[in-house]
Amino acid sequence: MNASSVIRGGTVVEASWSGPADVLIRNGKIAALLEPGAVVADPTVQTIDAVGKLVLPGGVDPHCHVGFTSGEFTSLDSYAECTTAAVCGGTTTIVDFAIPRPGQRPLDAAIAQRAKAVEGLCDSALHGCVVEWDDTTADQLKTMADNGIRTVKMFTTYAGESMADAHTILRTMQTTRDLGGMVIIHCESDAIVVDAQTRAAGAAGIDAAHMACTRPEIAEAAAVAEILAIAESQHAPVYFVHQSTAEAVELVADARKRGLVAFTESVTHHLVLDDRAYTGEEPERFVCCPPLRSAEAVEALGEHLFTGHITTIGSDHCCYDLGQKQSHRHDVRAMPNGLPGVETRLPVIFSRYVNDRGLSASRFVQLSATNPARTNGLYPRKGSLMPGADADIAIWDPQTRWTVGVDQLHMATDYTPYEGMELKGRPTTVLVGGHVVVDHGELVDATPRGRHIEANPLDFREMAIGCIPMA
C-alpha cells in the first residue's frame, strides 16, 4: 500500500477497543490499521517507532479559552502559543470560545475569533456565545451554524459580563436545537454566588483563600436544576461544562434517564485538585469558577469517570499569569478566574486515573478525544484513528515518570497549578495531519497548519450507537 509514513509496533487505543496494530498514514489521513509487521520496509516510507508505546488519537480539548477577555483581564496566549502547548501535551484539536464583549454581536465575535485558527499549530473549532436575545440573534445563530459553529456557550453567572437570563437561554436552546447544535452552559446560580460573596466579604473574608465558600456547591446544583427544566421543556439537548460535583453530574444523569439528551463535562482541576489548595501560601494560583471542592467531593466526582456519567474531560484552559492572578487577590470578585491547563490535561488525567486508579486506556481516549469530537460535531474526522480520520496522533509512553514544572511547559504563563506533581506517562511523539510536530517530547515543527474545522450537525442517534451513554 502506498503510504507516506507508518507507525510501527505500538498498541493502538481507540475508544471502543485497543490492540497491537501498525498505523499507515497517507496524505495527512489515516490510511489503514494493519497487523503488526504487515507492511514491508520501504525506504520511501518514514517509519515511526512505537514499540512499548500507546498510539492514541490526538486529544480533543472541548473547553479551551484562547486570548479570552473578561472584565479588565485578557488571558495571555495567542493561537500559536496555546496550540504549541496543546500539541506538546498530546492534544491536537482545541475547541475555543467566541465570547462577545459587552455590546459586540455574537456573530462578530465568532468571525474575529475564527480568523485566528490559521495561526495554530493544530486545528481548532469554535463555540459561539449568546448573552442577550434580540431580533437578530436567531439569524446570527443560523449564520454561525452554516459556518460550522453549532455549540453555543451560555452562562448563568458573571452578571454584567456574560450572564444570560432564562428567556435568552430558552430561546437560544430552541434555536440551536433546530440548527443541529446545542447550548453548552456554565451553571452557577448568580444570586446564590453574589449572596455568598457578600456574606464572605462581611465575615470570613473575600480574598483568594476564601474562594471555595464564595461559590458554594448548592449554587451549581440550583442552576443545573433550572437549566435541565428549561431544556426538558424544549426537548433541547444540553451540555454542562465543568461540572464540579457528583450531585450536579447525577442531576444530569437522572435527566438522561427521563429521556433528555444531556452531557456532562468535567475538567482536569476539579478531578485532581481540591480546596486545600486555598489554604496554601498562594491561593490565587487556584482561583477558578466553579472553585476547587473538598477532597471528598473530588473523590465522588472522579467516580463518575468510571460510572460513565461524565461524557468528556476538558481543560477550561485560561492562560493568566501570576501577576494577573495576584493583582486582585484580596478580592476574588475582581480576580481573573481560570487556570492554565491545555498542556497538562492529558498527562495529569492519565497518571491520576489510568495509572493510579485503573481507568482503562480506552475510556481515557473516549473521555479526552472521542467524546469531545462527537459532542462538537467533529467525529470521526477527529477523536479516532479509523481510516479516513485526520492523522492527528499522540504516541504515548505509559511508563515515563516525570515531575511537572513550569519550566518544561509551553503555556504562555509563569505557573502551573500542578507544580511538583509526580506523574507517570506522557506523549513522546505527536503528529498533526501526518506531520511529526513533537519528537522525543520536544517541539520540532512549529509550522502553523491550523484550520478552523466546521462542526457537522450533531447526530445524537449516532452518539447513542457509539460510545456516549444516552440513558
Q: Which three cell numbers stand for residue 110?
A: 465568532
Residues 383 and 370: beta-carbon distance below 8 Å:
yes
Give the β-pairing of 18-20 and 11-13. antiparallel
Of 99 and 361, nearer to Zn ion (C-beta) is 99
Residue 235 to residue 240: CA distance in whole angstroms: 16
**Partner touching 337 among ligand URP, Zn ion, none, CB below 5 to 8 Å by kind:** ligand URP
Of 116 and 186, nearer to Zn ion (C-beta) is 186
**Partner touching 131 among ligand URP, Zn ion, none, CB below 5 to 8 Å by kind:** none
4, burial (CB in 10 Å: exposed 0-12, middle 13-18, buried 19+): middle
Of 11 and 268, nearer to ligand URP (C-beta) is 268
358, burial (CB in 10 Å: exposed 0-12, middle 13-18, buried 19+): exposed
Q: What are phi and psi of 310, to 5 degrees?
A: -90, 130
Of 250 and 316, nearer to ligand URP (C-beta) is 316
Considering only 114, 186, 382, 452, the residue that binds Zn ion (CB under 5 A) is 186
The binding track of 64-103 with respect to ligand URP, each residue x by CB under 6 A or -, is -x--------------------------------------
Using CB under 6 A as the binding rule, the residues of this chain from 118 to 157 that contact ligand URP are none
**Partner touching 288 among Zn ion, ligand URP, none, CB below 5 to 8 Å by kind:** ligand URP
Of 325 and 363, nearer to Zn ion (C-beta) is 325
Q: Does position 269 bind ligand URP by CB under 6 A?
A: no
Q: Does position 417 bind ligand URP by CB under 6 A?
A: no
Residue 127 to residue 262: CA distance in whole angstroms: 17
Of 75 and 370, nearer to Zn ion (C-beta) is 75
- SS3 of residue 34 by DSSP: strand
In the complex, the smallest distance separating the C-beta of residue 344 from Zn ion, rounded to whole angstroms, is 16
My answer on whether omega of the bond before 290 falls inside 30° of 0, hence cis, is yes
Of 186 and 293, nearer to Zn ion (C-beta) is 186
User: What residues does 47 pair with on adjacent strands?
Assistant: 6
- DSSP structural state of residue 163: B
Q: E strand or H helix at 370, and its extent?
A: none
In the complex, the smallest distance separating the C-beta of residue 164 from ligand URP, rounded to whole angstroms, is 13
Residue 305 to residue 386: CA distance in whole angstroms: 24
Considering only 89, 338, 383, 425, the residue that binds ligand URP (CB under 6 A) is 338
Handedness of CA 461, 466, 467, 471 (dihedral sign): positive
Return residues touching ligand URP (CB under 6 A): 65, 186, 288-289, 316, 318, 337-338
Return residues touching Zn ion (CB under 5 A): 186, 316
